[in-house]
Structure 1
Amino acid sequence: MSKSSPNSVSGDTRCRKCRRAGEKLYLKGARCYSKKCAIERRNYAPGQHGPNARPAKPTDYGKQLREKQKMRQMYRVLEGPFRAYVAEASRRRGVTGENLLQLLEMRLDNVVFRLGFSTSRAQARQLVSHGHLLVNGKPVDIPSYQVRPGDTITIAEGSRRMSVIQDALSGVGSRIPTWLSLDAHQFTGKIVAAPRRDEVDSQVQEQVIIEFYSR
Structure 2
Amino acid sequence: MARYHGPKARVNRRLGALIYEAAGAARALERRDNPPGMHIKGRRLSNWGMASAEKQKIKHYYGLGERQLRKYYHMVAAKKGNTGEQLLTLCERRLDNVVRRAGYTKTRPQARQGIVHGHFFVNGVKVTSPSYQLRPGDVITIRPKEAIYGLYKGVCDNHAPQTPEWLTFDSESLRATMMGIPGPGDYSLPVNVDIVVEFLSR
Alpha-carbon shift at residue 162 of structure 1 (Å): 4.3
The whole-number CA distance in structure 2 between the counterparts of 1:205 and 1:102 is 14
Q: Secondary structure at the match of 1:37?
A: helix
Aligned partners of 2:95 and 2:28: how far apart in 1?
A: 27
Amino acid at match of 1:129: V
Matches within 5 A, 1:1-215: 10=5, 13-25=7-19, 27-28=20-21, 31=23, 37-47=27-37, 49=38, 53-158=40-145, 160-163=148-151, 165-215=152-202
Structure 1 unaligned segments of length 5 or more: list them.
1-8
Deviation digits for residues 42-87 of structure 1 (CA, Å, limit 9, x no counterpart) = 212224x3xx743321111111111111110000011111100011
Q: Distance in 2 between matches of 1:172 and 1:154?
A: 18
Cα separation, 2, equivalents of 1:107 and 1:166? 22
CA distance, structure 1, for counterparts of residue 158 and residue 164 of structure 2 = 15
Contact 1:128 1:143 in 2 (8 A): yes
Q: Secondary structure, in 3 states, of the residue corresponding to 1:119?
A: coil
Aligned residue identity for 2:103: G
TM-score w.r.t. length of structure 1: 0.85
1:40 deviates by 1.4
Shift of 1:199: 1.5
1:172 aligned partner, one-letter code: H
Identical aligned residues as a percent: 34
SS of 2:133 mapped into structure 1 = coil
The answer for unaligned runs of 5 or more in structure 2 is: none
Given that 2:170 and 2:176 are in contact with CA atoms closer than 8 Å, whether structure 1 keeps it comes out as yes
CA distance in 2, matches of 1:22, 1:86: 24
Q: Following TM superposition, by how much is the alpha carbon of 1:37 offset from its aligned partner in structure 2, in angstroms?
A: 2.7
In the TM superposition, residue 174 of structure 1 has moved relative to its aligned partner by: 4.4
Contact 1:112 1:124 in 2 (8 A): yes
